[in-house]
């Protein structure tokens, strides 16, 4: 049997000579391979017609971490720390998310991917948590701290996420300065950090639509994170 083809969204970077790149950390690729999927990169520079053509061949889509979503897509507070906005990536990912949700194609969102899920479906974001969420923990541990567990996440017992993780108490990394604010009507919040910051959302009436605010692709030595990627690839294989 062929492995399910999992599209992974990419960022637009530059090589050392300044030439544009389609870029993706290996951690995402490895997590999909480890879970039994066949990864394929989704360039975020394609015209809509072409990314929809690619979409039709995919069994599932992984929406990855990255820079901030443009305020063109949601009602949010402008903030000097909004950074790495990429109009091509925004258009591709928001377009793909909307079509995948309406077609029932499995989707997994990670970090920015969770924010894309909320914004694409009508939600909003905190544009800089430290200035907008009272009493918030530090959620931005950049650089080398990707494998460092910095805060717990409590997962609602009655949720798909709890079934998937096999746990309702997780220890996670945290590399985000934005967060989910007003939640899109379709989404259900099923996991929080102790300060109330939203860490897990799911779409109850969808075959598989789940998103997390942390980076499980750096924590694939943990059983709950292995279960997360496996459940996603298994749903895509159906
Ligand atoms: Mn966090």
Whether 17 has a pLDDT exceeding 80, the answer reads yes
Structure tokens at 124: 């909003």
Active site (annotated) includes residue 167: no
Signed CA dihedral, 217, 199, 153, 164: sign only: negative
> Which uninterrupted H or E stretch holds 109?
strand 107-110
pTM: 0.98
**Catalytic entry in 93, 199, 202, 217:** 217
Contact 170, 162 (CB under 8 A): no
Displacement of CA 29 from its chain's centroid (Å): 14
Which of 93, 111, 139, 202 is catalytic? The answer is 111
CA of 222 to the centre of ligand 1 (A): 17
Residue-wise pLDDT for 152-164, tens only, equals 999 999 999 999 9
Q: How far apart are CA 39 and CA 91, in angstroms?
A: 21
pLDDT for the residue 1 = 84
Q: Would you say 103 and 96 are in contact if contact means Cβ atoms under 8 Å apart?
A: no
Quote the CA–CA distance of 130 and 108 in Å, as a whole number. Answer: 26
Distance 193 CA to ligand 1 centre (A): 7
**Confidence (pLDDT) at 144:** 76
The C-alpha atoms of residue 208 and residue 192 are separated, in whole angstroms, by 20
In the numeric block, the tokens 């009655």 are attached to 158
Tell me whether residue 199 is one of the annotated catalytic residues. no
Mean pLDDT (the chain, rounded): 97
pLDDT score for 111: 98
Query: Can you give the residue range of the structural domain that contains 136?
Result: 5-237
pLDDT score at 156: 98
- If you measure from the C-alpha of residue 196 to the centroid of ligand 1, how many angstroms do you get, rounded to a whole number? 10
Q: Where are the alpha helices (DSSP H) in the chain?
A: 26-34, 48-55, 87-103, 112-120, 129-132, 160-165, 223-237
Provide the number of structural domains found in the chain: 1
Going by pLDDT thresholds of 50, 70 and 90, the confidence category of residue 116 is very high
Q: Residue 145 has what pLDDT? A: 84
Catalytic (active site) residue 217: yes
Domain with residue 71: its CATH number is 3.40.50.880
Q: Which two tokens stand for residue 71?
A: 């305020």
Tens digits of residue pLDDT in 123-179:
999 999 999 999 999 999 877 789 999 999 999 999 999 999 999 999 999 999 999
Pick the catalytic residue from 151, 176, 206, 215.
215
């Amino acid at each position: 049997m062929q492995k399910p083809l999992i599209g992974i969204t990419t960022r637009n970077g530059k090589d050392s000579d300044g030439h544009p790149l389609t870029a993706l950390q290996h951690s995402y690729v490895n997590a999909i391979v480890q879970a039994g999927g066949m990864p394929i990169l989704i360039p975020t520079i394609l015209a809509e017609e072409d990314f929809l053509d690619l979409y039709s061949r995919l069994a599932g889509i992984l929406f990855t971490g990255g820079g901030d979503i443009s305020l063109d897509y949601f009602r949010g507070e402008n903030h000097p720390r909004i950074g790495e906005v990429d109009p091509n990536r925004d258009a591709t990912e928001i377009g793909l998310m909307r079509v995948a949700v309406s077609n029932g194609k499995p989707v997994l969102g990670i970090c920015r991917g969770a924010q894309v899920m909320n914004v694409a479906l009508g939600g909003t974001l905190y544009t800089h948590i430290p200035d907008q969420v009272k009493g918030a923990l530090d959620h931005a541990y950049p650089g080398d701290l990707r494998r460092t567990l910095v805060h717990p996440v409590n997962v609602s017992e009655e949720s798909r996420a709890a079934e998937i993780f096999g746990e309702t108490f997780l220890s996670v990394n945290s590399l985000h300065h934005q967060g989910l604010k007003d939640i899109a009507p379709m989404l259900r919040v099923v996991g929080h950090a102790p300060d109330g910051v939203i860490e897990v959302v799911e779409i109850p009436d969808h075959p598989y639509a789940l998103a997390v605010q942390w980076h499980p692709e750096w924590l694939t030595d943990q059983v709950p994170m292995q279960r997360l990627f496996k459940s996603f690839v298994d749903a895509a294989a159906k």
